[in-house]
Amino acid sequence: MIALLGLLCLLAVDTRSDADTLFSQGRYAEAANIYLSLIKASPSDTSLLLSMGQTLRAMHQPRQAIPFLLRDTQLAPKDGVSARALAAAMQEANEFSDDSVRFLTKLTESDPGGGEIWYRLGLLVYQNGYYSAALDDLDKALGSMAISDRNAAESARAISLMQVGRSDDAEQAFRGLLARPANEKNLDLLLAYARVLYESGRYESAMQMADRATAADANNASAHFWRARILLQEDQPAQQDRLKAAETEAERARDLAPGSPAPRNLLIRIYQKLGRSEDAAREADWVRAHQILAGAPTDAPPGATR
């Protein structure tokens, strides 16, 4: 009887196979619990560390995944799968610093010719506004045929081109990307292209892109911001109906993004043109208070691409 009870206890112990099955079924929290208990028993098992990291990523907890994947890469420095998983987790967690950039650059040596780590590094620096560096990294990634999301890499590259002033190259890239069905409602691309068109004085075409953005998401503050900005064309006569339309769009952007100074800066100009000095002064007071709290002024549109 004692032997039988012992056997039943052994059979009840969760195994690696159980965890893998749970992971495949999308039962990530249950899988993570088993992986963690197995790692406690075998802390240097690289396959368990990798599985734990990937499970946490699947649970949208990339920051928690990093220590497991980092340990995995330390134990298996030439394992490209582990290196790519770690790079992905660092990018998803927006783990951005000089040290993390240097680390990921060094990590590319674990993925020769693959491009995935360059892609993740490119997205990381892009997310943090370093567009010139992003271009270099994304070009290296796109030189490979094996990256997880080529469309995302090309989209980030196109917006980076715009941000560094290469408008002609950016416009060509936007046209190609927006011709793809997958990008028909890509707000970042639509609004970045609207900006390029606006800055080159092609207001009608810019408004078409902004219209497409609002059609894709009527509650996107940046889309309404750009509609207002296009309507408020500085080199055109201040027609009352256009000013009122710009006012409506800018107020909508402000209400959708109440913490952003961009639509309020626009409203100051609109209210002044409409003779609404008290409303303009109210928005100016808010902007000044925001700048004091933030430590620096900003006029970037809410939710806009960097």
d(CA 218, CA 228) in angstroms, rounded, equals 14
Q: Are 38 and 48 contacting, i.e. CB atoms less than 8 angstroms apart?
A: yes
pTM, 2 dp: 0.84
Q: What is the pLDDT of residues 248-278, one digit of tens each?
A: 999 999 999 999 999 999 999 999 999 999 9
Q: What is the pLDDT of residues 102-130, one digit of tens each?
A: 999 999 887 777 799 999 999 999 999 99
CA–CA distance, 38 with 59 (Å, rounded to integer): 19
pLDDT, residue 234, reads 57
Which residue would you say has higher pLDDT here, 167 or 4?
167
In this prediction, residue 116 carries a pLDDT of 94
